Amino acid sequence: MPLQNTTNRLRPQLISQDIDSLHGLQTISTYDTSRADASVANIQKAYQAMLAQQQAETEKLTLYRAAADAARLAEWEFHNAILAMKDVVRGQYGSDSDQAQAVGLKKKSERKRPSRKKPVVVTS
């Protein structure tokens, strides 16, 4: 048997086929093996463990998504509060003040004036 790479997830189609195989095995009343890893009890135990871990993963993924949404909203609230603060500083101290520069705004006097662009002449 080739070496298995267990770092990758199995395709849902393959897991579905495995579950179908388990259900098919349950119809065979004469199945008996000396291999412990292939026994019906071991397969049932592995199946129940897989279901429990998938449920835990789904629950944690739901919690993760909720936490990510809450963090995203908090980031937006913080950003909007900073924008409001910059507007207040600009209104209270002016666009060309040192206070405006202290909060990350560019002084109006330090802005580069737009220059006229010369028209490009295309010769053919």
For the cut 90, the answer to whether the pLDDT of residue 108 exceeds it is no
Specify whether the CB–CB gap between 22 and 43 falls below 8 A: yes
pTM equals: 0.65
User: Is the dihedral angle over the CA atoms 91, 97, 102, 104 positive or is it negative?
Assistant: positive
Q: What is the pLDDT of residues 76-99, one digit of tens each?
A: 999 999 999 999 999 999 988 999
Sequence ranges of the domains in the chain: 12-104
More confident residue, 109 or 19: 19
Q: What is the pLDDT of residues 42-85, one digit of tens each?
A: 999 999 999 999 999 999 999 999 999 999 999 999 999 999 99
Q: What is the pLDDT of residue 107?
A: 87
Specify whether the CB–CB gap between 94 and 100 falls below 8 A: yes
Q: What is the pLDDT of residue 77?
A: 97
**Alpha-carbon distances of 27 from 20, 45, 79, 123, rounded to whole Å:** 11, 18, 61, 84
